[in-house]
Structure 1
Amino acid sequence: MNFRVNWDAMGVAASLACAIHCAILPLLLTSLPVLGINIIENEAFEYFMILVAFGIGVYSLRHGYKKHHHSALPIIIFAIGITGLIAKQIWHQYQLWILPVAVLMIVTAHLMNFRACRVHNHAHEDDCDH
Structure 2
Amino acid sequence: MNRINWDAWGVATSLACAIHCAILPLLLTSLPVFGINIIENEPFEYFMIFLAFAIGSYSLWHGFKKHHHSLMPWALFAAGIILLIAKQVWHNYQFWILPFAVIFIIAAHLLNYRFCRVHNHAHADDCDHSTPV
**TM-score w.r.t. length of structure 1:** 0.69
Indicate the structure with greater helix content. 2
Structure 1 unaligned segments of length 5 or more: list them. 2-28
In the other structure, the counterpart of 1:91 is: 90
Structure 2 unaligned segments of length 5 or more: list them. 5-28
The DSSP-based 3-state class of the residue aligned with 1:41 is coil
Quote how far apart the aligned CAs of 1:125 are: 3.2
In the other structure, the counterpart of 2:13 is: none
Quote how far apart the aligned CAs of 1:124 are: 2.9
Larger Rg: 2
The aligned runs of 1:23-62 (5 Å cut-off) are: 36-62=35-61
In the other structure, the counterpart of 1:73 is: 72
Aligned counterparts of 1:56 and 1:121: Cα–Cα separation in 2: 26
- How many residues align? The count is 103
Larger RCO (CA within 8 A; separation ≥ 6): 1
The DSSP-based 3-state class of the residue aligned with 1:99 is helix
- Deviation per CA, 1:17-71: give whole Å up to 9, x if none: xxxxxxxxxxxx7xx7688542110011101110111001111111111110111
**TM-score w.r.t. length of structure 2:** 0.68
